[in-house]
Amino acid sequence: MIPTQGKKKWMQLPRDVVVGPDVIYDLKDVCNDLKLNEGAFIVTGHNTKRIAGDVVHDILNDCGYDPSIASSKEASMTEVNKIVELATEANSRYLIGVGSGKSIDVAKLAATKLDLPFISVPTAASHDGIVSSRASIHDKGKKASIEVNAPMAVVADTSIIAKAPYRLLAAGCGDIISNYTAVLDWEMAHRLRNEPFSEYAATLSRMTAQILMDSPEDIKPELESSVRIVVKALVSSGVAMSIAGSSRPASGSEHMFSHALDRVAPNSALHGEQCGVGTIMMMYLHGGDWKKIKECLEIIGAPTTASELGIEDRYILEALLVAHEIRPERYTILGTGLTPEAAEKVARLTKVIS
């Protein structure tokens, strides 16, 4: 883990980021570049094993690296501990997470616990966790965002990701657009609370969101070029977080709203979808151009209302009321909390609820 004492700056970034069609077949070269060969442990999901997990296994097996593979069903501490045990038994030397957010988070935290290198192989571009130095894991009934080692490499095969349900890519766009309100919150905390602020991380994060906002019509289903835009943006969001040494540049009040929804709503939507809707409302609270955010998400085909999220209006209001409690140390536009009247006003005015 990164030492945090003193004033020195220590940024942990991936060494190899490989993005493009069929780059999964470059995995052997990536492993060689990192001086990793035998002893791979692949963590995948039940669906994604079939989509890419088995391919990764076969590639490394053909190289004679004798890889092990396990499927994890959820991003929980129980699953992380199970992988730690299996990888220890297998004498593994590095871990590869193949799948969407949950499999990657399980593999990332297990690798950090084992102090082993980790390679991220996303099968969907649904959020910036594919490259970040954080893992969201359920433990004792609560989800925690845990600091972990950043992936040593990210291998994002755009041919595989382009075949994933479009909903996942649109969610990734919501996670990127949320950088706008995250940075506004951070600037506000810097002004009001003298919180340390990195102009460089904030600028990179904002610019990443700007690229999507400038041409949302470039994001279309089953288009490799769209996937490439989104993956690159997710990578630069992850880099912004690494520069900041926290998720501040990419996670503010809109993420607190999404985390709150995960707690209160019986069936929550995708992380990036919820963050996108949260961004509309938090931008309204900031007095910014929330209509432009909504329009951009609509063009991309991401949800902008409670019903499109598949969440009842009352859970939106409940999440708005408790969002400020999610991470009290992270000062945002939510301050010490909205009144029920203010929560209803923001949700209705932005047409998130009807």
Ligand X SMILES: NC(=O)C1=CN([C@@H]2O[C@H](COP(=O)(O)OP(=O)(O)OC[C@H]3O[C@@H](n4cnc5c(N)ncnc54)[C@H](O)[C@@H]3O)[C@@H](O)[C@H]2O)C=CC1
Ligand Y SMILES: O=C(CO)COP(=O)(O)O
Q: How far is 213 from 197, CA to CA, in rounded Å?
A: 24
Residue with smallest beta-carbon separation from ligand X: 101
Across 301-323, b (16+ Cβ under 10 Å) vs e yields: bbbbbbebbebebebbbbbbbbb
For ligand X, the binding residues in 53-82 under the rule CB under 6 A are 75
3-state helix, strand, coil in the chain (%, to 5): 55, 10, 30
Asked if 198 interacts with ligand X (CB under 6 A), we say no
Contact 10, 242 (CB under 8 A): no
Point out which residues bind ligand Y (CB under 6 A). Answer: 127-128, 134, 136, 145, 175, 247, 250-251, 255
Tell me if 37 contacts ligand X by CB under 6 A: no
Amino acid found at 240:
A
Asked whether position 175 contacts Zn ion by CB under 5 A, the answer is yes
Residues 17, 67, 107, 134: which binds ligand X (CB under 6 A)? 134
Alpha-carbon span 199 to 354, nearest angstrom: 38
**Per-residue x/- track, 153-172, ligand X (CB under 6 A):** -------x---xx--x--x-
Amino acid at residue number 4: T
The site partner of 100 among Zn ion, ligand X, ligand Y, none (C-beta below 5 to 8 Å per kind) is: ligand X
Report in angstroms how near the CB of residue 344 gets to Zn ion at its nearest: 26
Q: Single out the residue of 96, 135, 169, 170 in contact with ligand X (rule: CB under 6 A).
A: 135
Residue 255 annotated as lining a ligand binding site: yes
Give the nearer residue to ligand X in terms of CB position, either 259 or 294.
259
* Nearest distance, CB of residue 311 and ligand Y, angstroms: 18
User: Of the two residues 68 and 112, which places its CB atom closer to ligand Y in the complex?
Assistant: 112
By CB under 5 A, how many residues form the interface with Zn ion?
2
- What distance in Å separates the CA atoms of residue 212 and residue 291, rounded to the nearest whole number? 15
51 touches ligand X by CB under 6 A: yes
Positions 105 through 124 that interact with ligand X (CB under 6 A): 105, 123-124
- Give me the half-sphere count of Cα atoms (radius 13 Å) on the Cβ side of residue 30: 28
Is 120 labeled as ligand-binding? Answer: no
Look up residue 150 and give its DSSP letter.
P
Burial (CB count <10 Å: 0-12, 13-18, 19+), residue 155: buried
Query: Closest distance between ligand Y and the C-beta of residue 25, in Å?
Result: 29
Q: Kindly tell me which of 37 and 47 has the beta carbon lying closer to ligand X.
A: 47
Whole-number Å distance between alpha carbons of 182 and 174:
12
| Binding residues among 120-159 for Zn ion as defined by CB under 5 A | 127
Judged by CB under 6 A, does residue 330 bind ligand X? no
Cα–Cα distance for residue pair 65/28, rounded to 1 Å: 10
The string of DSSP codes covering 45-76 is -HHHIIIIIHHHHHHHHHTT---EEEE--SSB
Binder to ligand X among 39, 129, 151, 276 (CB under 6 A)?
129
DSSP line for 171-234: HHHHHHHTHHHHHHHHHHHHHHH-----HHHHHHHHHHHHHHHH-GGG--TT-HHHHHHHHHHH
Q: Distances in Å between the alpha carbon of 311 and those of 73, 147, 198, 253?
A: 23, 30, 36, 19
Q: Is 103 annotated as a binding residue?
A: yes
Q: Compute how many other C-beta atoms are within 10 angstroms of the C-beta atom of residue 243.
A: 19
State the binding partner of 51 from ligand X, Zn ion, ligand Y, none, CB within 5 to 8 A by kind: ligand X
Figure out which of the listed residues 44, 48, 72, 237 binds ligand X, where binding follows CB under 6 A. 48
Binding site for ligand X (CB under 6 A): 45, 47-48, 51, 75, 99-102, 105, 123-124, 126-129, 132, 134-136, 160, 164-165, 168, 171, 270-271
Binding-site residues for Zn(2+) sit at 175, 255, 271
Enumerate the known binding-site residues for NAD(+).
Answer: 101-105, 123-126, 132
Binding-site residues from annotation: 101-105, 123-126, 128, 132, 175, 255, 259, 271
The binding site for glycerol comprises 128, 175, 255, 271
